[in-house]
Structure 1
Amino acid sequence: MRDLTVTEAIDVVGRGEAEHELPGPLRADVRMLGGLLGRVLRESGSEGLFDDVERLRHATIAAYTDDSPQAFARAEEIADSFDVQRADEVARAFTAYFHLVNLAEEHQRVRVLRERDGRPEARDAKDSVASAYARLTGEIGAEAATERLQQLRFHPVFTAHPTEARRRAVSMSIRRLAALLIEHDRAAHDAAQRDGADDAAPEQVRGDADGAERLSSEQRRLQRLMLQEIDTLWRTAPLRAEKPTPVDEVRAVMAIFDDTLYMTIPQVYRRVDDVLQGGDAGARAPLVKPFVRVGTWVGGDRDGNPFVTASVTKKAAAIASEHILLGLEHTAERVARSLTLSGDSTPPSTALLALWQRLSDADEDAAVEVAKRAPDEPHKRVLMLLTRRLAATRARNADLAYADPDPFLADLRTVQDSLVAAGAPRQAYGELQHLIWQVETFGFHLAELEVRQHSAVHAKVLAECEAGEPLSPLAEEVLEVFRTIAQLQRRYGPRAAGRYIVSFTQSAADLAAVHRLARFAVGEQGTPPVLDVIPLFETFADLQAAPAIMAEIIEHPAFAERLAATGRRLEVMLGYSDSSKDVGPVAANLALYEAQALIAEWARENGIQLTLFHGRGGALGRGGGPANSAVLAQPPHSVEGRFKLTEQGEVIFARYGDPDIAMRHIDQVAAAVLLASAPSYAALNREAAERFADVAATMDAASRAKFFELVKAPGFAPWFATVTPMEEIGLLALGSRPARRGLSVESLADLRAIPWVFAWSQARINLAGWFGLGTALEAVGDEELLRGAYDEWPLLRTIIDNIGMSLAKSDVRIARRYLDLGDRDDLAALVLDELELTQRWVVRIVGGDDLLANKPVLQRAVKMRDPYVDALSLLQLRALRALRTASDDQDVTPWQHLLLLSVSGVAAGLQNTG
């Protein structure tokens, strides 16, 4: 077996779509949508608004292309000339523009994916599960590869962490626009075909101003509807008036399941099976077993969120179950209607007839009616009564309801087996198989609800319980959660809610406390819920202590019993956010790698089937970036075909909001998960880690020292709150969770990782994603050695590529203006010098003349957005200065609104901000 290079490894998971210039269709869409927005501003904005927007837009573009202080000063002068009402309108205009650009880019991604799927080479895509399976077969043989494919598991967990800055009303408006864009594409294609204009310029086909006369009546109709929708978007208040409740957050996430995941996930399985089985696909039992499991913290994560109660958790589970049962009911009914196979052509099996008899005895009136409607269609009759049982399950009709999904699955397989025995495999493995996949993936609960609580809360409540005195409201609530979990398991099945995550795990006692509390909750005679207790190691010190803590806890009787029951399966969660806030992004990434390697080795030595749960955020400072490349950079044996991670805020909608993009994302990540355990990848990561151990040690020490020099400087925390909109972000109604644990900004310890990252990104500094790397690389000093490490060490390549993205979204001129808000020239210089050093080293190592030179598509997207983000940043600075200098009796409400509006706009422009 030949060695695998890092370049090949990266190629396997894809490096972007079409390269170089902005694609014609995307350029046309941006121009069309921008033109429609301009018309709305003229018609619906106040007098002169469009002209003011254009003045600022042209000035920021000029400043972006001209590095002179005069050009930047001109843009500042225009932004500062607006009164607060005008500034507010201008900020809204730029925010609306970003929503439309984001839509156009998403639409282009979908367009490219659909065009790719239509080409013969699509089945050979390097970053698909099917291709990964073929490669794995070449390395370990077909039998072993098939076994790993059937054990594959990708487990995204949706959280309610507050980083989605736009209102749901805005999101829905954008979704309606997306549907209109799809129709517009179809109309443009039809017009081109009809007019013989296949080679027409995209601007002409899609209705750019220069080609407006060529628009068909259908295109004109659709552009009129888009204009109406953009006008609605403009007139919709962009900011939430109040923070959403946890139940609001549950319902928002449900939209992703309803609109995308419910139908998309079985299509992912089908796509893989189509490639693996070729012409036999759909006529034989699928090779693919359902490999996606969906989890959720929404309604279950109570760490630091007092609004998530046991009652909320019950409601979250009930809402999710209602959605999935209704979906399964509709699907089963649709499949039943299609099974119009006569008993003569497709005779029922003995098992199917017995099932019909049992169903008829339980639901006599319905059976009589169904028999009349389908007198000689035995498979249809059975499935129609199964649909009735699903409806009864949703209505909680005890006489007919299923207790859990397993009996329903058994009934579906009886139908499937009967069809196969009767010589109708295509009906057995067609839409009926999709229904089976949906039940296997979602159960009756839809998403596996996970509970999270802080270890300190457990310790406090346990002390109360053991003291035997009357319990506090906090203790009563904590115990009620365990009773709720038991109730949910009885009602929706054991998978519905069985994972309990302990934040800030620092000892085995922190984990044992959960089992003791569960026993207190139900009493000596009661039955506690079945729990998989998951440690969450977050800080740098906790990551280092993790293997020793795990070695101790598996000896605990409750843990040992659960390990035995699950075949020694165990989950361990790693937090990216707090470790990065503790020691800086470079040292945190290295510490996370080392912790994973040690935990994985410990698990192998103890015969434990380990799943590492990655607490990644959307931003680079919180472990964000492309998930597939991150998977392939993991230590040997730390993945082993299983990958679980958190998905949050804007990342949820970016990755799963569109069916085509969701399918592509799931396929890519699952492919990387399958490949990560291939011998070639394990050898690549192991040998690189050994070869560059000294480089890692030097970078770790240097980056940590530099980070501490900044964050441990006297007065750093209040300075940070002054030079970023950190305090004001807390006023933005992003989510139900508080922005920080305490009321003071005297210490970073009480500040949550999300506002830490979010505030730096708003200031266009992105410090949380890169600070310390320049010093770390400078400490190594050997450019040739570092280039070699970048080429041959997947971990370093991932770190540098992600930091390159973070740096590209920063802007030193804007950053200086934010840093000027403080009175610490020493700290400002420390930040700016490290920024310049890091940029210089990253460009030298990666090559090219500029950041992201090796990622032209991403570079193009960033450069297209930056001047417009600059406009919003200048308006945000205007608001910050006004707020910082306001007198006690001055009404600052308009300036606060402008600031929060600009925060939403910058988030939309930069993306992956939290």
Structure 2
Amino acid sequence: MSVEPKLSRFKQQVLSKYQIYNSIFMTLPFDTITKTGVLLPLFHETCKKGFANGDDPTKIVDTFFEKYQGRRSKESQINLLFRFIQYIERQVVLFDAVEDAAFPIVNNMEGIGTLRNLKESASSNNKLEELKKYLEEFKVRIVLTAHPTQFYPGTVLGIITDLTAAIKSNNLSEINNLFAQLGKTPFFKHEKPTPYDEAKSLIWYLENVFYHSFGEIYNYIQQNIYDDGKKHNEIINIGFWPGGDRDGNPFVKPDTTLKVARKLKQAALKKYYADLKNLRRKLTFRGVEERIIRLETIMYNYSININTPEKITAKELLKELLSIRNLIEEKHQSLYVNEINNLINRIHLFGFHFATLDIRQDSRIHHSVFTNVVDHLIATGSKSFPKNYHDLTEAQQIEILSKVSDEKIDFDAFEDEMVYNTLKTIEVIKDIQKTNGERGANRYIISNNQTALNVMQLFAMLKMVAFKDELTVDVVPLFETIDDLENAPKVMEQLYTNPVYMEHLKSRGNRQTIMLGFSDGTKDGGYLMANWGIYKAKELLTAMSRKYDITAIFFDGRGGPPARGGGKTHQFYSSLGPTIEDKEVQLTIQGQTISSNFGTLDSSQYNLEQLISSGMFNRLGKENHKMSDEDKIVMADLAETSYAAYKEFKGHEMFIPYLERMSTLKYYAKTNIGSRPSKRGTSDKLVFSDLRAIPFVGSWSQLKQNVPGFFGVGTALKKYEDKGEFYKVEQLYKNSKFFKTLLENSMMSLTKSFFDLTKYMSKDEEFGAFWNIIYTEYTTTKALLLKLTGYKELMENEPSGKASIEVRESIVLPLLTIQQYALKKIQELNRSGVQDEEQLKIYEKIVTRSLFGNINASRNSA
């Protein structure tokens, strides 16, 4: 299908509908301040014209009030700005709903990358057997994290869902009611959510989206590709971090983890009960009906009370359903057998755990906890640890940790809460495996993993505390920074040459999961280096693992927007080539990525199918994706040059002050969107390493400068242009799908930048020179990317994606203007030395409130 029709479909189904519904929405009287809906378009126009004339946000806001609202008092003007913020937030919701409703029409649900397309092309190329073989060993795991990159409370997510359905069916009276509900539903959270609240809001997606889309995909593969109704490799599964991810979150306690695991189990049981209830209406045959009623009753009681005396295991439930299916096939002409298969398949996929709860903690915390434990054991006469344990070399310590067995640890002997909680969590993993099955919790991720000792400390703790006989937990090192990525192969070789650890891997199917990257990679190394660092690490780790007959399973911390390692993810996976292990695709998804890529049944099914296909495309075209040695040299050089530029920029004396005083960084903590603190350290002084990636990337995004998604790219390309060797980069672009995908994602970051918003900073005595450094890199990157791709404008190859971004950026333009106006007022008040706390509070509230709509509007960064 050609590109133009997709853009036409977008214009008809999204743009036109949005304009119609927005005009209805704007006439609704939401508040005592009249005419907000009438004045907002005038303000929007003033912003557009003002920026085109080179005016700054203060002048634009002042001009608007002088021209249209001259008689308003200062207080009334501020109130109107707050009303504008409320309206714009809701316009973003409306656009989300319109875009979601149009998803299956704008995107070809049977086009390239879908399962139907995969099956048809395999059949026509006589590769159906190859496809079946691939699907028997390939898996996609998406892991839901609570990292807060979206500001919608659950109530608003519910309205978006209902509004999407009403727009799909053009139900005007329902749309009107939902608009009114939207107008009266607050977006602002007065309190931070607890980790359990975060878990509950993500379980909503499991129940309402993934349960159905996973099931549909599995059914399609079983019925149309295998055509046998048999149980196969589950192909897709789901991981879950809220309630298990402790890294930097002191509010995740052992009882939180247990509570979330219980909630996940209950949610799965409720879904099975609902399916059995529907089956009961259909399976009204002799010898079948009473058996289904019995199962329905058991599941109903079990879903309400986990401790009910009449329990059933997942295995028993499956056995009974299979027996019922056989009876229907033999005696009742296979009536409704597909419906029974659908339920059997879902139990196969979700078990009694629904999603696998991952545990994650920082290696530095483990080290501190482990030191405490060893000291206590030595003091109480340990059989395993010598008195001089801490003075031994790393290799000697690892040797001891491999053999630790009969050490008993009394949790209550430790006054330090972190020590107690860490040990208790290991016990909790064992408890969850007993109640929800092994898949309920069987992975422990060590973030900031730097050494083999980090892995072996956890390995020993798991065995000492709860897994003496058999360790049914995968230890997953997470290599994040550029240095750690380079060091990763050496760390893994140390583990692979350890006989005890290798014995453990053997019991886990000779597979080792390794997590790479996460958001901190881009923050640490800049855009090109972070992505190239992960690519190189994957190549070396694949070779190292294959050398020891281990299959490396790569788990990517991908983030949402390109600036956090995200972007068009499936394109990365289809471009890996033969030197990177590709048995599984595992990636984290969070915040607006969940709602934009997986928030509806259509988008969830489409994007999951794209991920499944990406691995197949990589496998079929493996040799074509192999990078030549010449291309690798150019890629490595580009990464190094951009890294040097980014490091110099990060080391600039104005880098931290600029973020602290000119951006929205410090306001993130006030939005109450996530349970984690917004920075790691406790110091009042802002230190780069304490910065969390999400507020860091988000602050650049609010400034419309998107630095982490492009900084250094222009400098690296310019080096080749200046040397007269640009043809080498053109060659790399032509040959490497990986490099092409990287640059296309960077173009998305550039498309979302708008430097006219902050141009006033270029004249600032303190920060003018620093702003100009960013702007110069932006213009260089943009010009050279256009030269390299041959495009006349950014994202030319993705017109519908570009159009979506343009509408969203246009909706929030007044919001960004108001935010910058308030930030400028805060700077002026701080510089003047006048202590006007009341004014300061008002402007700070405007900045915080305007964060919401700006972030939510960026959902297509996923």
Cα offset, 1:505, TM superposition? 0.6
Structure 2 residue 185 is matched with structure 1 residue 236: yes
Amino acid at match of 1:69: G
CA deviations 1:294-334 (Å, max 9, x no partner) are 11001100000000110100111011111101111221232
Structure 2 residue 759 is matched with structure 1 residue 765: no
Gaps of 5+ in 1: 1-10, 185-221, 342-376
Instruction: Give the structure 2 partner of residue 50 of structure 1.
Output: 37
CA distance in structure 2 between the aligned counterparts of 1:16 and 1:409, rounded to whole angstroms: 49
Provide TM-score, normalisation by structure 1: 0.84
Cα offset, 1:387, TM superposition? 3.1
On the 8 A contact 2:47/2:817 being kept in 1, the answer is no
Amino acid at match of 2:311: A
CA distance in structure 1 between the aligned counterparts of 2:577 and 2:500, rounded to whole angstroms: 30
CA distance in structure 1 between the aligned counterparts of 2:658 and 2:64, rounded to whole angstroms: 25
Residue 163 of structure 1 is aligned with which of 128, 132, 149?
Answer: 149
Cα offset, 1:142, TM superposition? 4.1
On the 8 A contact 1:723/1:819 being kept in 2, the answer is no
CA distance in structure 2 between the aligned counterparts of 1:671 and 1:424, rounded to whole angstroms: 35
CA distance in structure 2 between the aligned counterparts of 1:487 and 1:240, rounded to whole angstroms: 34
Distance 1:858-1:75 versus aligned 2 partners, 3 A rule:
farther
Instruction: Give the structure 1 partner of residue 652 of structure 2.
Output: 713
Amino acid at match of 1:895: Y
Matches within 5 A, 1:858-869: 858-869=801-812
Instruction: Give the structure 2 partner of residue 898 of structure 1.
Output: 846
The secondary structure found in structure 2 opposite 1:677 is: helix
Distance 1:393-1:101 versus aligned 2 partners, 3 A rule:
closer
Instruction: Give the structure 1 partner of residue 789 of structure 2.
Output: 846
Instruction: Give the structure 2 partner of residue 172 of structure 1.
Output: 158
Instruction: Give the structure 1 partner of residue 23 of structure 2.
Output: 35
On the 8 A contact 2:489/2:544 being kept in 1, the answer is yes
The secondary structure found in structure 2 opposite 1:574 is: strand
Distance 1:528-1:566 versus aligned 2 partners, 3 A rule:
closer
CA distance in structure 2 between the aligned counterparts of 1:726 and 1:43, rounded to whole angstroms: 31
Residue 7 of structure 2 is aligned with which of 8, 16, 19?
Answer: 19
CA distance in structure 2 between the aligned counterparts of 1:566 and 1:528, rounded to whole angstroms: 11
Residue 213 of structure 2 is aligned with which of 233, 241, 264?
Answer: 264
Give the length in aligned residue pairs.
807
**After alignment, is 288-297 or 133-142 more displaced?**
133-142
Instruction: Give the structure 1 partner of residue 386 of structure 2.
Output: none
Instruction: Give the structure 1 partner of residue 564 of structure 2.
Output: 622
Instruction: Give the structure 2 partner of residue 366 of structure 1.
Output: none
CA distance in structure 2 between the aligned counterparts of 1:397 and 1:434, rounded to whole angstroms: 27
On the 8 A contact 1:639/1:677 being kept in 2, the answer is no
Structure 2 residue 734 is matched with structure 1 residue 791: yes
CA distance in structure 1 between the aligned counterparts of 2:203 and 2:64, rounded to whole angstroms: 40
CA deviations 1:822-855 (Å, max 9, x no partner) are 8133322211110100010111122232111111
Instruction: Give the structure 2 partner of residue 593 of structure 1.
Output: 535
The secondary structure found in structure 2 opposite 1:294 is: strand
On the 8 A contact 1:586/1:773 being kept in 2, the answer is yes
Structure 2 residue 445 is matched with structure 1 residue 497: no
Cα offset, 1:676, TM superposition? 2.0
Distance 1:70-1:532 versus aligned 2 partners, 3 A rule:
closer
Instruction: Give the structure 1 partner of residue 314 of structure 2.
Output: 405
Amino acid at match of 1:859: K
Instruction: Give the structure 1 partner of residue 423 of structure 2.
Output: 479
Distance 1:17-1:653 versus aligned 2 partners, 3 A rule:
farther
Instruction: Give the structure 2 partner of residue 669 of structure 1.
Output: 611
Cα offset, 1:274, TM superposition? 5.0
Instruction: Give the structure 2 partner of residue 250 of structure 1.
Output: 199
CA distance in structure 1 between the aligned counterparts of 2:3 and 2:702, rounded to whole angstroms: 27
Instruction: Give the structure 2 partner of residue 334 of structure 1.
Output: 278
Distance 1:23-1:45 versus aligned 2 partners, 3 A rule:
farther
**After alignment, is 225-234 or 324-333 more displaced?**
225-234
Structure 2 residue 637 is matched with structure 1 residue 698: yes
Distance 1:15-1:272 versus aligned 2 partners, 3 A rule:
farther
**After alignment, is 481-490 or 42-51 more displaced?**
42-51
Cα offset, 1:544, TM superposition? 0.6
The secondary structure found in structure 1 opposite 2:248 is: coil
On the 8 A contact 2:447/2:478 being kept in 1, the answer is yes
Cα offset, 1:256, TM superposition? 0.7
Matches within 5 A, 1:498-897: 498-522=442-466, 530-556=472-498, 559-678=501-620, 680=621, 682-686=622-626, 688-742=627-681, 743-781=683-721, 782-817=725-760, 823-886=766-829, 887-891=834-838, 892-897=840-845
Cα offset, 1:820, TM superposition? 6.0
**After alignment, is 558-567 or 757-766 more displaced?**
558-567
Amino acid at match of 2:151: A
Gaps of 5+ in 2: 67-73, 380-412
Cα offset, 1:561, TM superposition? 3.0
Structure 2 residue 87 is matched with structure 1 residue 93: yes
Distance 1:142-1:637 versus aligned 2 partners, 3 A rule:
farther
Instruction: Give the structure 1 partner of residue 96 of structure 2.
Output: 102
CA deviations 1:339-363 (Å, max 9, x no partner) are 234xxxxxxxxxxxxxxxxxxxxxx
On the 8 A contact 2:30/2:184 being kept in 1, the answer is no
CA distance in structure 1 between the aligned counterparts of 2:30 and 2:242, rounded to whole angstroms: 41
Instruction: Give the structure 2 partner of residue 436 of structure 1.
Output: 344
Identity of aligned residues (%): 22
On the 8 A contact 1:583/1:707 being kept in 2, the answer is yes
CA distance in structure 1 between the aligned counterparts of 2:633 and 2:86, rounded to whole angstroms: 51
Amino acid at match of 1:52: L
Amino acid at match of 2:708: A
Taking CA–CA contacts closer than 8 Å with sequence separation of 6 or more, which of the two structures ends up with the larger relative contact order?
A: 1
Residue 148 of structure 1 is aligned with which of 126, 129, 134?
Answer: 134
CA distance in structure 1 between the aligned counterparts of 2:530 and 2:178, rounded to whole angstroms: 45
Cα offset, 1:648, TM superposition? 0.3
Cα offset, 1:691, TM superposition? 3.7
Residue 314 of structure 1 is aligned with which of 252, 258, 265?
Answer: 258
On the 8 A contact 2:471/2:504 being kept in 1, the answer is no
Instruction: Give the structure 2 partner of residue 908 of structure 1.
Output: 856
The secondary structure found in structure 1 opposite 2:27 is: helix
CA distance in structure 2 between the aligned counterparts of 1:626 and 1:880, rounded to whole angstroms: 33
CA distance in structure 1 between the aligned counterparts of 2:466 and 2:537, rounded to whole angstroms: 36
CA distance in structure 2 between the aligned counterparts of 1:60 and 1:530, rounded to whole angstroms: 59
The secondary structure found in structure 2 opposite 1:300 is: coil
Amino acid at match of 1:68: N
Distance 1:329-1:698 versus aligned 2 partners, 3 A rule:
same
CA distance in structure 1 between the aligned counterparts of 2:605 and 2:692, rounded to whole angstroms: 32
Cα offset, 1:730, TM superposition? 1.8
Instruction: Give the structure 1 partner of residue 324 of structure 2.
Output: 415
Instruction: Give the structure 2 partner of residue 68 of structure 1.
Output: 53
On the 8 A contact 2:482/2:533 being kept in 1, the answer is yes
CA deviations 1:611-654 (Å, max 9, x no partner) are 10000111211111122112112242535331010010111111
Instruction: Give the structure 2 partner of residue 353 of structure 1.
Output: none
Amino acid at match of 1:106: D
Cα offset, 1:900, TM superposition? 1.5
CA distance in structure 2 between the aligned counterparts of 1:90 and 1:710, rounded to whole angstroms: 36
Residue 378 of structure 1 is aligned with which of 279, 287, 302?
Answer: 287
On the 8 A contact 1:718/1:745 being kept in 2, the answer is no
Matches within 5 A, 1:173-212: 173-184=159-170
Distance 1:739-1:431 versus aligned 2 partners, 3 A rule:
same
On the 8 A contact 1:821/1:881 being kept in 2, the answer is no
The secondary structure found in structure 2 opposite 1:378 is: coil
The secondary structure found in structure 1 opposite 2:857 is: helix
Distance 1:556-1:378 versus aligned 2 partners, 3 A rule:
farther
Instruction: Give the structure 2 partner of residue 215 of structure 1.
Output: none
Amino acid at match of 1:35: S
The secondary structure found in structure 2 opposite 1:446 is: coil
Provide TM-score, normalisation by structure 2: 0.89
Amino acid at match of 1:36: I
CA distance in structure 2 between the aligned counterparts of 1:179 and 1:623, rounded to whole angstroms: 32
Cα offset, 1:131, TM superposition? 3.2
